[in-house]
Amino acid sequence: MRLGILTSGGDCQALNATMRALVLTLHKNIDDLEIIGFIDGYKGLMYENYKVMKVEDFKDILNMGGTILGSSRCPFKKMRVIENGFDKVEAMKRTYKKLELDCLAVLGGNGSLKSANMLYEEGLHVIALPKTIDNDTWGTDYTFGFQSAIDIATTYLEQIQTTARSHSRLFVVEIMGHKVGHICLHAGIAAGADAILLPEMPYDIDALSRAIQKKQKEGQRSFVIACAEGALSKDEAALSKKQYKRIVKAREGKSVAYEIADKLAKLVDMEVRVSCCGHVQRGGNPCAYDKVMATRFGVEGARLILNQQFGRLPVSKGTEVTSIPLTETAGQLKYVDPNGEYVQTARALGICFGDEMSES
Tell me the pLDDT tens digit for each residue of 202-260. 999 999 999 999 999 999 999 999 999 999 999 999 999 899 889 888 888 888 999 99
pLDDT number for residue 360: 58
Instruction: Tell me if residue 168 falls in helix, strand or coil.
Output: coil
Residue 149 has pLDDT above 80, yes or no: yes
> For residues 299 and 73, which has the higher predicted lDDT (pLDDT)?
299
State how far Cα 222 lies from the chain centre: 30
List beta partners, residue 109.
none
pLDDT number for residue 356: 76
Residue 18 has pLDDT above 80, yes or no: yes
Out of 11, 40, 57, 134, pick the active-site residue: 134
Residue 331 has pLDDT above 90, yes or no: no
Q: What is the pLDDT of residues 159-176, one digit of tens each?
A: 999 999 999 999 999 999
Q: Which domains does the chain have, with CATH numbers?
A: 2-145+286-329 (3.40.50.450), 149-282+337-359 (3.40.50.460)
How much is the average pLDDT of 282-304? 97
Residue 359 has pLDDT above 80, yes or no: no
Q: Above pLDDT 70, what percent of the chain?
A: 99
pLDDT bin (cut points 50, 70, 90) of residue 358 is low
Based on the residue annotation, tell me whether 134 is a catalytic residue of this protein. Answer: yes
pLDDT number for residue 271: 96
What residues have CB less than 8 Å from 10, skipping those under 6 apart?
71, 73, 109, 132, 133, 282
pTM: 0.95
pLDDT number for residue 84: 92
- Yes or no: say if 153 and 187 are a contact pair by the CB < 8 Å rule: yes
HSE-CB at 197 with a 13 A cutoff on CA atoms is 30
